[in-house]
């Protein structure tokens, strides 16, 4: 539990401001604040390597081993959340020889290969990392034999989606409380890579075994399959939403799905291509960069990153990188591309203006997925919480109240949980009307906060400082912070007036 020390007046604000700046701008080993970091899933090592792009140096290695069970977790993909609050890793547990998935199209390194004897598989996980501390803060077990492939986020960061290749599922995870729902994909589809439409309503999933592009409506769960001429490994969606590109390994090509006309065309890769894997669009929606790895199906490794011009539908450039390029990501201003080299154990740094490799950074054996963390944005409303403590009154046995407290703690809020035998007395003390009551009552900044209210609403209250007693979200609605299930409707947050009058504060 976090503790708050009141130092008084301007001093507490100054210290809080310094703390917030440091918290949201991690300090490098040189003492400089970092506003960008590169995260690399180093599969065979069982680690995530963190790179400072300002120096092109590795600054941290995060070991994913679960030491209580002696299970080594092998990261396949890594993705920073859009709000910068977390970094998520799909991690598959080490398994004994007879439990391996021999039918996998992409061979996976396992923990018992060259790493000594490990205990049996305890289930594949999504591992959540705090990018401020570069430390593991949550493990989300999704079951054994999943072969968790890629993870993506909705644009607001509220939901993470994870593809499970062996079980033909998409897992939807609420990032506020880590609760999960499932979308069943077609049997034998073998979902691997995926990206979302710009509005976050559609997932475009690469079906490796099903040789198709899965178009998944995330609002109603309907699925449409666009057949392709080979196994799709990964997808890329242009920021304008016009095209979905899919790498097709066997035919050494990129499939282009036109979202307006719902049609598929193909761009053949240059002679000498050995098979594309991951791909990534530029922020202006003009180009897609394709990592041509090879290696699979007994092909030799390639060393090319191809640049596809979406206007001409032709390969504009071939850029030399390391051995067996696998993952690729581009920074926001299109000045740098970063490529993981599966058999080189390095990350290539590409100058986008000259289309030349600047350097290679050693990261360890079998680097796979890669993502850029762009810092954490702090709104003016959020600064209203600096120096404040939220006191949550609850009963000792209330499970969802405890989850709500954990939700606040993950948001770096100073929280004090107080277990009481009689919540009615607390609600009467602070003037919460009976018809607005929920399972717990919180106090912050002189206001009463009743129920599972999202932190953004609390921040708005403290920033605007209206002349009211507080706000309430009655009941325990599905999908609210601390509650399981999906959010199925807008919530009405009510204002409790100083005279007891109840009005609408906002809808959320």
The CATH number covering residue 478 comes to 3.40.30.10
* Mean pLDDT, range 104-133, rounded to an integer: 59
The answer to the question of residue 415 being in a domain is yes
Q: What's the confidence (pLDDT) of residue 5?
A: 29
Work out the mean pLDDT of the chain and round it to a whole number.
87
Q: Is the pLDDT of residue 116 over 60?
A: no
Check residues 387 and 328 and name the one with the higher pLDDT: 328
The answer to the question of residue 497 being in a domain is yes
The answer to the question of residue 417 being in a domain is yes
The answer to the question of residue 477 being in a domain is yes
C-alpha distances out from residue 215 to 163, 193, 495, Å? 13, 12, 42
Q: Decide if 148 contacts 92 (C-beta within 8 A).
A: yes
* Mean pLDDT, range 252-257, rounded to an integer: 98
* Mean pLDDT, range 351-368, rounded to an integer: 97
The answer to the question of residue 10 being in a domain is no
Q: Is the pLDDT of residue 14 over 70?
A: no
Q: What's the confidence (pLDDT) of residue 24?
A: 47
- Domain tally, the chain: 1
Question: Cα–Cα distance between 393 and 355 in angstroms, integer?
Answer: 58
Question: Cα–Cα distance between 92 and 329 in angstroms, integer?
Answer: 22
The answer to the question of residue 62 being in a domain is no
Q: What's the confidence (pLDDT) of residue 47?
A: 98
Q: What is the pLDDT of residues 283-332, one digit of tens each?
A: 999 999 999 999 999 999 999 999 999 999 999 999 999 999 999 999 98
Residue 211 backbone class (left: φ over 0; alpha: ψ -120 to 50; beta: rest): left
Q: What's the confidence (pLDDT) of residue 379?
A: 53
Q: What is the pLDDT of residues 428-474, one digit of tens each?
A: 999 999 999 999 999 999 999 999 999 889 988 998 999 999 999 99
* Mean pLDDT, range 127-143, rounded to an integer: 93
> Hey, CA dihedral for 30, 34, 40, 42, is it positive or negative?
positive
Residue 387 backbone class (left: φ over 0; alpha: ψ -120 to 50; beta: rest): left
pLDDT category at 7 given cuts 50, 70, 90 is very low
pLDDT category at 125 given cuts 50, 70, 90 is very high
pTM of the model: 0.72
The answer to the question of residue 422 being in a domain is yes
The answer to the question of residue 436 being in a domain is yes
| CB burial string 83-99: b at 16+ within 10 A, e below | ebbbbbbbbbbbbeeee
Instruction: Pick the closest to residue 46 from 146, 102, 125 (CA basis).
Output: 125
Check residues 284 and 35 and name the one with the higher pLDDT: 284
| Domain housing 485 | 380-507
Q: Is the pLDDT of residue 338 over 50?
A: yes
């Amino acid at each position: 539990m976090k503790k708050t020390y009141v130092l008084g007046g301007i001093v507490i604000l100054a210290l809080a401001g310094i703390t917030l700046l440091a918290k949201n701008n991690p300090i490098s080993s040189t003492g400089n604040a970092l506003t960008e970091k590169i995260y690399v899933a180093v599969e065979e090592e069982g680690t995530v390597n963190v790179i400072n792009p300002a120096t092109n140096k590795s600054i941290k290695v995060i070991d994913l081993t679960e030491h209580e069970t002696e299970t080594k977790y092998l990261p396949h993909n890594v993705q920073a959340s859009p709000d910068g609050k977390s970094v998520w890793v799909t991690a598959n547990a080490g398994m004994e020889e007879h439990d391996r998935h021999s039918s996998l199209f992409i061979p996976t390194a396992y923990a018992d290969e060259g790493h000594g004897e490990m205990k049996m598989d305890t289930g594949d996980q999504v591992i959540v990392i705090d990018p401020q501390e570069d430390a593991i803060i949550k493990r989300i077990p999704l079951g054994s034999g999943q072969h968790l492939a890629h993870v993506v986020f909705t644009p607001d960061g509220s939901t993470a989606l994870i593809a499970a290749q062996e079980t033909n599922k998409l897992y939807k995870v609420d990032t506020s409380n880590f609760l999960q729902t499932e979308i069943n994909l077609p049997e034998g589809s073998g979902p691997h890579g995926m990206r979302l439409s710009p509005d976050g309503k559609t997932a475009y999933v690469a079906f490796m075994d099903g040789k198709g592009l899965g178009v998944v409506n995330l609002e109603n769960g309907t699925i449409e399959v666009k057949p392709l001429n080979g196994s799709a490994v990964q997808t890329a969606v242009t920021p304008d939403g016009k095209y979905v590109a899919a790498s097709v390994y066997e035919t050494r090509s990129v499939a282009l799905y036109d979202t307006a006309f719902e049609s598929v065309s193909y761009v053949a890769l240059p002679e000498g291509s050995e098979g594309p894997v991951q791909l990534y669009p530029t922020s202006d929606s003009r180009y897609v960069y394709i990592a041509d790895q090879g290696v699979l199906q007994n092909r030799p490794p390639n060393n090319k990153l191809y640049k596809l011009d979406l206007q001409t539908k032709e390969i504009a450039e071939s850029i030399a990188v390391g051995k067996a390029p696998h993952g690729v990501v581009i920074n926001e201003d299109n000045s740098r591309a970063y490529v993981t080299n599966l058999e080189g154990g390095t990350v290539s740094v590409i100058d986008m203006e000259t289309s030349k490799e600047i350097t290679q950074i050693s990261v360890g054996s079998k680097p796979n997925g890669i993502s850029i963390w762009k810092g954490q944005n702090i709104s003016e409303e959020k600064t209203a919480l600096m120096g404040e403590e939220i006191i949550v009154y609850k009963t000792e046995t209330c499970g969802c109240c405890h989850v709500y407290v954990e939700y606040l703690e993950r948001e770096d809020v100073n929280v004090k949980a107080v277990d009481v035998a009689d919540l009615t007395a607390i609600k009467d003390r602070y003037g919460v009307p009976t018809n607005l009551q929920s399972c717990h009552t919180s106090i912050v900044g002189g206001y009463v906060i009743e129920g599972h209210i999202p932190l953004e609403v609390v921040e708005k209250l403290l920033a605007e400082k209206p002349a009211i007693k507080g706000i309430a979200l009655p009941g325990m609605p599905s999908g609210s912070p601390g509650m399981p299930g999906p959010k199925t409707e807008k919530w009405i947050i009510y204002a409790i007036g100083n005279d007891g009058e109840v009005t609408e504060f906002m809808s959320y």
